[in-house]
Amino acid sequence: MRLISYNVNGIRSAIKRGLIDWLKTDPADIICLQETKAEKANIDHSIIEDLGYQTYWYSAEKKGYSGVAIFTKPQPDKLFYGNGIMQSDAEGRVIRADYGAVTLINAYFPSGTSGEIRQTYKYEWLDEFYDYIQSLRKERPNIILCGDYNIAHKEIDIHSPKSNKKSSGFLPEEREWLTKFTASGMVDTFRVFNEEPHHYSWWSQRFPTVREQNKGWRIDYFMVTEPLRQRLKNAAIFPDVKHSDHCPVYLEIDF
């Protein structure tokens, strides 16, 4: 099974930049999008469904904000919208699909870059989400968790760790949370296959040349619970796909 996770930073904008043509190349069996900034009715979703994908959307209550979606060729057994936590669900941050014994969760973690209030909420969300995943694992031990985590975990995951030590997304508390999360039995799939530096999935739009210079952050992940490690086939990042300030991350796994 081929999976992609992709923060499109507005699906309508991404479509204008060629997202549909890219989907026509059959990049994956299941595509998880974050930051759709739209509802299903806002776009001509029939174009996507004509490519063989069923589309499932979970949008924020606020128009043009946040939102996640799953485009899938295999039929999921069950869909779950949200994770039962009020503010997270109001912001359209989590959608889950079960395929047999495997649970796929697509999540858009909050950013704290807009100020102290959102940074405080980000910490709250991380704690709530940690408990949500640990509880779910008791019932569903085979979990794939993909999305924009909005955290670069280690120095290898960011182009300039020294100058970003006080930047949201690379703060010590955020990185410690991700260390705790992986220590609990969540496998960072990209690092199973690639331990080299200079692999990033997001580049700031404030500085137009940083993507060309590859001065980015790796903040988009596929993580799996430990029982799925032996089923991993490949993981990659596709920096040459450019419909967003992020790029797709890829996982191949035996369901």
Q: How confident is the model at residue 178 (pLDDT cuts 50, 70, 90)?
A: very high
Sheet of 94-99, strand order: 78-81, 94-99, 102-108, 142-148, 220-225, 186-188
Q: How confident is the model at residue 63 (pLDDT cuts 50, 70, 90)?
A: very high
Residue 207: the pLDDT is 86
pLDDT in tens, 18-36: 999 999 999 999 999 999 9
> What is the β-pairing status of strands 220-225 and 142-148?
antiparallel
Mean pLDDT lowest among 63-72, 166-175, 184-193, 200-209: 200-209
Q: How confident is the model at residue 134 (pLDDT cuts 50, 70, 90)?
A: very high
Q: How confident is the model at residue 255 (pLDDT cuts 50, 70, 90)?
A: confident
Cβ burial 149-181 (10 Å sphere, 16+ → b, else e): bbbbbeeebbbeeeebeebbbbbeebbebbeeb
Residue 220 to residue 199: CA distance in whole angstroms: 11
**Does residue 166 surpass a pLDDT of 90?**
yes
pLDDT in tens, 67-82: 999 999 999 999 999 9
- In the set 148, 157, 188, 245, the catalytic residue is 148
Residue 208: the pLDDT is 83
Burial of residue 43 (CB within 10 Å: 0-12, 13-18, 19+) is: middle
Residue 95 to residue 42: CA distance in whole angstroms: 19
State the average pLDDT over residues 189-193.
98
Put simply, whether the predicted model's pTM sits higher than 0.85 gets the answer: yes
148 labelled catalytic = yes
Q: What is the mean pLDDT of the chain?
A: 97
Residue 145 to residue 225: CA distance in whole angstroms: 8
∠ at Cα 29 (150, 108), nearest 5°? 20
State the average pLDDT over residues 148-172.
98
State the average pLDDT over residues 128-142.
98
